[in-house]
């Protein structure tokens, strides 16, 4: 194999982290080969189709075609790369621990002649690096280096997060391995946190658990605002201006979801529990988040009474705007709860395409189609285009003009002025007054 066949970087996993990492390193001038185990994924990437919705990613991959390749073959990656990034999924198991089976598969598949350093970008429990080292040694691959380099990207703005990171964390057993990975990020203007492997692993878990804690905290404040007459949007603004607090992750809403926060909070809680420590705070963070999703049902009942036979439009299905990722999305729990109450659920999202996740719900092609004839429109994901639904045409098309705004996306005054009833999260609610009599007196809506 000539030097031109050398790819500096190999990547295991063509998901969010693997594709973004690969495309961004290619943009920084490196030669990258990305390996996945799903043949359709690799075929589609070779044909120039990106299997996930992430702004700018398709163009970035296209622009760097000369430096990026995709393969199913583990041998090709191991032979061509000096740094092997592990970006496979680590989903939760039934026990709440992280499922590391994809990582062990990567290790099992590594060819005996591998001469490279493994760089762990997947989110893993503290102690995983030690186990990987032991497994490598048991396989006679003790010369393979190991670095923990957790990823902090946020879906929907992943390219920016990669290219302008708040920090790059590198935990290594050996200085040369740390330096080799640090060199990849040389051209980025960022803070480098070089530390030990255990601490690098913990930085990732603790960061996500802290952000989730902020969300559950502001959601509880919102719930108290609802019973005391304060407006959580004002409260969060006033709190966020305090430099000790800051304004990030103080948006009250329907609860956090996605492929990271729920599983990482649970994994940290389990990690602590397995080590003999009861992480009480995280139990509450998780419980508050679960209850928060269900509060929407109470708000619907407040306005519509029983939900049997009511048609509810779920607007936005992905766990947040800017992505088509449905993992742990609030829409899934909400749809199931509404269907269990006997409601008819019509769901819409501009990019997410649910398969089995929303079984029993009808999918609408447009937001307007979803709300036509509906008794309520529930905003589950903060897609900006949903603001356009606040208009006379939609009011007239709905059977009951009611918005339950799970993301505080809309302006309550404008919504009410347009003739809708409105329920946000932690905001003054619509006063109780029945809608004017319609041809169909039931259900009655209180504004
Ligand atoms: N998605 C995020 O926003 C995000 C952010 C930071 C960290 N993380 C962490 O990064 C890791 C990956 O997350 P993701 O969202 O990219 O996952 P993903 O599920 O989107 O992608 C994982 C990919 O790995 C592939 N894969 C499985 N086994 C493989 C193997 N043996 N060899 C090669 N490929 C294999 C899968 O087919 C899949 O395409 C997780 O640990 C996650 O917690 C994710």
Please name the residue whose Cα sits nearest to atom 10 of ligand 1.
122
307: helix, coil or strand? coil
How far lies 329's CA from each of 261, 274, 333, 364, 408, in Å? 11, 27, 8, 18, 17
CA–CA separation, 305 and 6 (whole Å) = 66
In eight-state DSSP terms, residue 165 is -
Q: Is the dihedral of CA 395, 399, 401, 402 positive or negative?
A: negative
Owner of token pair 């000096």 = 82
CB 403 within 8 A of CB 420: yes
CA of 89 to the centre of ligand 1 (A): 3
CA–CA separation, 232 and 213 (whole Å) = 17
Ligand 1 atom closest to residue 19's alpha carbon, by position in its atom list: 16
Q: What is the pTM of this model?
A: 0.93
41: helix, coil or strand? helix
CA of 86 to the centre of ligand 1 (A): 8
C-alpha dihedral over 149, 151, 152, 155, to 10 degrees? 170
Ligand 1 atom closest to residue 12's alpha carbon, by position in its atom list: 33
Residue 61 in tokens: 């991959």
Q: How high is the pLDDT of residue 158?
A: 97
In eight-state DSSP terms, residue 98 is B
CB 164 within 8 A of CB 188: yes
Q: How high is the pLDDT of residue 436?
A: 43
Q: How far is CA 166 from the centre of its chain?
A: 18
For residue 153 and ligand 1, the question of a CB distance below 6 A is answered with: yes
CA–CA separation, 112 and 403 (whole Å) = 60
CA of 188 to the centre of ligand 1 (A): 24
Buried/exposed code over 395-421 (b: 16+ C-beta within 10 A; e: otherwise): eebbbbbbbbbbbbbbebeebbebbbb
For residue 266 and ligand 1, the question of a CB distance below 6 A is answered with: no
Residue 144 in tokens: 């393979």
Q: How high is the pLDDT of residue 79?
A: 86
Ligand 1 atom closest to residue 102's alpha carbon, by position in its atom list: 28
For residue 103 and ligand 1, the question of a CB distance below 6 A is answered with: no
For residue 165 and ligand 1, the question of a CB distance below 6 A is answered with: no
Would you mind telling me the total number of residues written for the chain in this entry? 447
CA–CA separation, 355 and 340 (whole Å) = 19
> Is cis: bond before 443, omega within 30 of 0?
yes
Residues tagged active-site: 260
CA–CA separation, 93 and 112 (whole Å) = 30
CA of 28 to the centre of ligand 1 (A): 22
Q: How high is the pLDDT of residue 306?
A: 92
Q: How high is the pLDDT of residue 22?
A: 98
For residue 101 and ligand 1, the question of a CB distance below 6 A is answered with: no
15, 104, 132, 326: residue to mutate for ligand 1 pocket, most atoms within 8 A of CB: 15
Q: How high is the pLDDT of residue 430?
A: 59
- The one-digit pLDDT tens for each residue of the chain (447 residues) are 334 445 599 999 999 999 999 999 999 999 999 999 999 999 999 999 999 999 999 999 999 999 999 999 999 899 889 999 999 999 999 888 899 999 999 999 999 999 999 999 999 999 999 999 999 999 999 999 999 999 999 999 999 999 999 999 999 999 999 999 999 999 999 999 999 999 999 999 999 999 999 999 999 999 999 999 999 999 999 999 999 999 999 999 999 999 899 999 999 999 999 999 999 999 999 999 999 999 999 999 999 999 999 999 999 999 999 999 999 999 999 999 999 999 999 999 999 999 899 999 999 999 999 999 999 999 999 999 999 999 999 999 999 999 999 999 999 999 999 999 999 999 987 554 324 444 344 544 544
């Amino acid at each position: 194999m000539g030097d031109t066949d050398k790819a500096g970087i190999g990547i295991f996993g063509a998901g969010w982290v693997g594709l973004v990492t690969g495309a961004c390193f290619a943009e920084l001038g490196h030669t990258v080969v990305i390996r996945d185990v799903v043949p359709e994924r690799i075929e589609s990437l070779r044909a120039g189709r990106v299997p996930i919705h992430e702004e700018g990613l398709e163009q970035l991959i296209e622009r760097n075609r000369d430096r990026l390749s995709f393969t199913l073959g583990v041998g090709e990656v191991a032979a061509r790369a000096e740094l092997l990034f592990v970006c496979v999924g680590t989903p939760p198991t039934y026990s709440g621990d992280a499922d590391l089976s994809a990582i062990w598969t990567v290790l099992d598949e590594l060819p005996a002649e591998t001469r490279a350093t493994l760089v762990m970008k997947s989110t893993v429990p503290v102690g995983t690096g030690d186990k990987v080292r032991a497994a490598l040694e048991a396989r006679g691959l003790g010369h393979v280096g190991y670095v923990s380099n957790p990823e902090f990207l946020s879906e929907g703005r992943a390219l920016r997060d990669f290219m302008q990171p708040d920090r790059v964390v590198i935990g290594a057993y050996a200085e040369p391995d740390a330096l080799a990975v640090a060199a990849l990020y040389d051209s980025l203007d960022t803070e480098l946190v070089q530390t030990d492997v255990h601490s690098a692993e913990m930085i990732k878990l603790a960061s996500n658990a802290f952000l989730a804690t902020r969300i559950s905290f502001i959601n509880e404040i919102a719930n108290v605002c609802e019973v005391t007459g304060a407006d959580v949007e004002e409260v969060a603004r006033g709190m966020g201006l305090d430099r000790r607090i800051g304004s990030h992750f103080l948006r009250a809403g329907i609860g956090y979801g996605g492929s990271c926060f729920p599983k990482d909070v649970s994994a940290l809680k389990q990690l602590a529990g397995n080590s003999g420590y009861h992480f009480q705070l995280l139990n509450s963070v998780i419980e508050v988040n679960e209850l928060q999703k269900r509060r929407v049902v109470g708000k619907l009942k407040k306005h519509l009474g029983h939900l049997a036979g009511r048609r509810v439009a779920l607007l936005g299905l992905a766990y947040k705007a800017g992505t088509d990722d449905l993992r742990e999305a609030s829409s899934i729990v909400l749809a199931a709860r509404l269907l269990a109450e006997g409601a008819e659920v019509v769901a819409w999202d501009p990019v997410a395409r649910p398969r089995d996740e929303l079984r029993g719900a009808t999918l609408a092609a447009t937001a307007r189609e979803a709300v036509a004839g509906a008794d309520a429109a529930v905003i589950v994901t903060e897609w900006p285009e949903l603001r356009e639904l606040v208009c006379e045409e939609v009011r007239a098309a709905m059977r009951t003009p009611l918005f339950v705004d799970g993301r505080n996306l809309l302006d309550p005054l404008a919504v009410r002025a347009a003739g809708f009833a409105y329920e946000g999260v932690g905001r003054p609610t619509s006063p109780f007054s029945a809608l004017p009599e319609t041809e169909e007196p039931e259900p009655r809506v209180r504004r």
